Structure 1
Amino acid sequence: MQLLIIVKPSVKKQAVKHVNWLKKICKIKNIECKTIKTTGNFEYDLSKIKVSALNSQIAVAIGGDGTINLAVNGLMQSRCSLAILPCGTGNDFARGFNCTAKQWQDAVFNAPAQQIDIGLVNTRYFINIAGVGFDAHVINKLSCVQNLSAWLYSWTSFKALFKYQASTLEGVFLNKTYTYKNLITVFANHQYFGGGLKIAPKAKIDDGLLECYQMPAGNLFNNLASFIKLIFKRHHAISTLTYSQLDTAHIKTPNLIIEADGELVGVTPALVTIKKHALAFHKPIKKRLQ
């Protein structure tokens, strides 16, 4: 058996602890262990992961949502399952499971792999959420920042909202064409995005559907009100919001920035789909209190 470690080099002590713990357990269990340290060059890292995944049974992604996204894209054409040890800035995908670091560690070797859904926007897979609009705009502004903190993400988002110029979006959702000034349009496979905003409380990673939120832009007051409602999980009450569950959507408008799992992944036009039960994932086992 071979275990593949995919880790973002980090000054965070938690990442180092996770790597050392994995290597220790692999030695005890007599499991071959291979480590890939990401470089920030997506295509280069992706090619290395794809090759190593062919000879590995389990891949463990250590880092944040971006590292997990890289791992997902590298594993999709293999039989290698995915486990994660979250230690990033937002950890939005992991946040939806409400698990401790110990529970994530236990899942690597003890939780059976379950088939989960994976989203696809054009040629880029995503495990959590993809979006077009203000969320992508903020990520673009922060793309050159090293060692991003949750506080800096929130502060940049707040400031950016005052100057954000919404673009008109035309797209096909559930076979119906919509045209609107777009604040955010997101496709959610899981619940959280934006460093802890629970935008999709009904999202499930194994139901074969994406939760789609089309939130039109208004004036500054309306945009602020929409985000306040989102922060307090009241956004389903926004009168202009269009919410749906779908397996395919098509954004026709060109040159809108796309983000997926907190990473910039290209521009529109975009075809967004869901691949049902496409990846084996080691979901933590949460024991019920007796």
Structure 2
Amino acid sequence: MPLDRPARLTLAVNPAAHAGLGDARAREAATLFRARGAAVTELRRETALELAAAVAADLSGPDAVVVVGGDGAVNLVANVLAGTGVPLGVVPAGTGNDVARLLGVPLDSVAGAVSAVLAALDGAPRLLDLGRIDWPDGQRHYVAVASAGFDARVNERANTWRWPRGQSRYTLAVLRELVSFRPIPFELTVDGVGRRQRAMLVSVANGPSLGGGMRIAPGARADDGLLDLFVVRPLSIPAFLAVFPKVFRGEHVGHPAVELSTVRSVSIGGPGVVVYADGERVTDVPVTISVVPRSLAVLAAPGGLEPTC
């Protein structure tokens, strides 16, 4: 949507993201946006929930909302923007940054992220599918991946740690969780067909990666009207450790214990199942996950939203 005036941007900032990285990157981003002629309104809140509420309070003014933070803050703001037509941009400042990866936004360069946002705004925002999680008492959209089983347990563990930071925290939590984890007897309904499935992990992916770059569904497209179901059947610890490093390169596809398929809806239940989405805890009750096509406008970099294999 080429503009004949300076772009009006709301910069939604989670200053606590990644031990203060959010605040530092927000200040740099605001300076760069203004230097490129944009009119910037900064929203700073101490929690991602407060930030999303502040964004929701005024959607009539900005041409786009740019989140400076991690996947949790991006997820909550995406839930606010879904269906409104107001585009979402990201300056990554979190631990995982899988939504930024999906959009093709540079992870370690604020200047690169700012350039990607402005270039996309000067062209045409892309329309992104969202996953939608429904359970008896609630509903929530997600951008990248929803998971239950091993990944959710790893997130439960990693989210209680302050150290180490970044991807190494998630990897260490994986190794710690392996010691006590047992496969879960999932109760699944996939596109209307019920089945019982013992598995280590069930993920429903809209984008390729979770956990800070684990490419569980490397062929996933976030604009094809489909979700990618990723199931890891029971593995011994040595077998899991052998396949785990391959996930970062997307080389696990074809492994006998790995199932990948495209779906439109999945219901997930089973004993002790906890569901996470975009790295954040959603619920511990059975859910139904479905795709909501073309429901979020996003500011993606060139090459963003493309499969990684």
Give the structure-1-normalised TM-score. 0.87
For residues 3-42 of structure 1, the aligned pairs below 5 Å read: 3-10=9-16, 11-12=19-20, 15-23=23-31, 25-26=33-34, 29=37, 31=39, 33-40=40-47, 42=49
Unpaired runs of 5+ in structure 2? 1-6, 304-309
Q: Distance in 2 between matches of 1:201 and 1:229?
A: 12
Tell me the CA shift for residue 173 of structure 1: 1.1
Q: Distance in 2 between matches of 1:220 and 1:13?
A: 35
- The answer to whether the 8 A contact 1:4-1:35 is kept is yes
- Relative distance call for 1:2 and 1:135 in structure 2 (3 A) is same
Q: Distance in 1 between matches of 2:114 and 2:181?
A: 41
- The answer to whether the 8 A contact 2:90-2:105 is kept is no
Q: Which stretch of structure 1 is more off in the superposition, 159-168 or 246-255?
A: 246-255
- Relative distance call for 1:13 and 1:266 in structure 2 (3 A) is closer
Aligned to 2:265: 248
Aligned to 2:119: 110
Aligned to 2:306: none
- The answer to whether the 8 A contact 1:168-1:182 is kept is yes
Q: Which stretch of structure 1 is more off in the superposition, 14-23 or 176-185?
A: 14-23
Q: Percent identity?
A: 23
Aligned to 1:267: 284
SS across alignment from 2:80: helix
Paired residue type of 1:40: T
Q: Distance in 2 between matches of 1:256 and 1:57?
A: 40
Aligned to 1:56: 62
Aligned to 1:137: 153
- The answer to whether the 8 A contact 1:183-1:223 is kept is no
Q: Which stretch of structure 1 is more off in the superposition, 241-250 or 52-61?
A: 52-61
Q: Distance in 1 between matches of 2:13 and 2:268?
A: 33
Q: Distance in 2 between matches of 1:38 and 1:247?
A: 35
Tell me the CA shift for residue 214 of structure 1: 1.3
Q: Distance in 2 between matches of 1:127 and 1:260?
A: 8
Aligned to 1:69: 75
Aligned to 1:120: 132
- The answer to whether the 8 A contact 1:166-1:181 is kept is yes
User: For 1:229-282, what per-residue CA distance to the aligned partner results, in whole angstroms no more than 9, with x for missing partners?
Assistant: 434533222223322101111113365111101111112311101111101111
Q: Distance in 2 between matches of 1:234 and 1:186?
A: 17
- Relative distance call for 1:180 and 1:49 in structure 2 (3 A) is same
- The answer to whether the 8 A contact 2:104-2:300 is kept is no
Aligned to 1:282: 299
Aligned to 1:79: 85
- Relative distance call for 1:199 and 1:37 in structure 2 (3 A) is same
Q: Distance in 1 between matches of 2:87 and 2:103?
A: 18
User: For 1:71-126, what per-residue CA distance to the aligned partner results, in whole angstroms no more than 9, with x for missing partners?
Assistant: 21121253311111112212222234555334421122221311111111121111
Q: Which stretch of structure 1 is more off in the superposition, 16-25 or 100-109?
A: 16-25
Paired residue type of 1:19: R
